[in-house]
Amino acid sequence: MTSLAAHTATNQPSTIDPKQLIQKAKDAGLKPMPQGKELETYQQDYAKKHKLATPYKPKLTQAQIQLGKKLYFDPRLSRSNLISCNTCHNLGLGGTDIVPAGHKWTDNPSYLNSPSVYNAIFNGVLFWDGRATRLELQAHIQNQMQTTPQEILARIQSIPDYVNEFKAAYGNNVKIQPALIADTIALFVMTLTTPGRYDDFLNGNTKALSKDEQAGLNMFIDKGCTTCHTDINLGGSMRAFSVIKPYTFAKVGGFKGDAKGRIKAPSLRNILDTAPYFHNGQYWDIAGAIKEMGSIQLGITISDDEIKILEKFFQSLSGKYPTNIYPILPASTNATPKPSL
């Protein structure tokens, strides 16, 4: 196999055989995203493993998914009636809010940047400190919405159309509880996957990526990036951070990771759509983020020419977003608790 080191000076693509590169990628732990029946099985196994919507054993029916979608977009789950899940994880903005979150947000003093909700089902852990392993959103909803489980439940139960939709999704004897509300949102989030040309390439289509993109993938592996950015999501697991030297903006927000100082390696899927980068959103350009990672994680200087090659590979990580039309939400009633600002 030809090293890319010889090509960086002229910015020429690697001559590695595509079939060899596919095997090299898989040997490095990179995996294609499940699709079709394989994805359906993955989703069912995930729901069963994490006991989502217990005890109703969800089948990911359209009734369950569409109900979860409405709840995801409904700002009435917040005390102010202004914030929905989509506020911070905007499906039209790569599943993020494209701001360095935390600025003047009293519940986020660490300035934590909202990670993308797309492909979250493939993350090994959730949140920057890895404190959750399942798409169960109850505690997160409470914090972000500045509300309580009882308040959320009261709002849903005050809207007859929502009550009927829960019955259609889980049966007439369903008992609506805060956990079921949160898990129903999770069932919708499980459908937010973005397969793309990168997956086609790993699945054997050697023409799915351009020569430049293949060169970038080869360099990505050779530089050691797959040490942290691996598996289906090219990230999503807890990793040591600032391995070689401190992160330049470590003091912004003061977030220190988990008890071992580890931080969740973010997924690189759709990475060019999800600036700003890092847990506190201090890099807006991908080139600066790449250079910083080489310095603090790998102890190397990544040249401008090499960054251009890596950026070519990152282009291939932009997948096909699912179509999501903003739903018409059921009307409130006189019994629905009023917003509080």
Q: What is the DSSP string of 258-297?
A: STTSEEEPPP-TTGGGS-SBTTTT-B-SHHHHHHHHIIII
pTM of the full structure: 0.92
Percent of the chain scored above 70 by pLDDT?
92
List of residues 6+ apart from 103 with CB closer than 8 A: 111
Average pLDDT over all residues of the chain? 91
Two tokens, residue 8: 């960086």
Evaluate if residue 71 carries a pLDDT over 80: yes
In whole angstroms, how far apart are CA 228 and each of 37, 152, 196, 220, 332? Answer: 28, 37, 21, 11, 46
- Contact predicate 258/311, CB 8 Å: no
CA 286, CA 269: separation in Å to the nearest integer?
Answer: 13
* Confidence class for position 112, pLDDT limits 50, 70, 90: confident
Q: How far does Cα 62 stand from its chain's mean position?
A: 22
* Confidence class for position 2, pLDDT limits 50, 70, 90: very low
Q: State the maximum Cα–Cα separation within the chain, in Å, rounded to a whole number.
A: 71
CA 124, CA 186: separation in Å to the nearest integer?
Answer: 15
Over residues 124-141, the pLDDT tens digits come to 999 999 988 888 766 677
pLDDT of residue 103: 43
Over residues 75-111, the pLDDT tens digits come to 999 999 999 999 989 999 999 988 765 444 555 667 7
pLDDT of residue 15: 73
Evaluate if residue 5 carries a pLDDT over 50: no
Evaluate if residue 208 carries a pLDDT over 80: yes
Q: Once rounded to an integer, what is the mean pLDDT over residues 27-35?
A: 98
Q: Which domains does the chain have, with CATH numbers?
A: 4-33+195-315 (1.10.760.10), 36-189 (1.10.760.10)
List of residues 6+ apart from 322 with CB closer than 8 A: 191, 192, 193, 194
* Confidence class for position 143, pLDDT limits 50, 70, 90: confident
Tell me, what DSSP letter sits at residue 238?
E
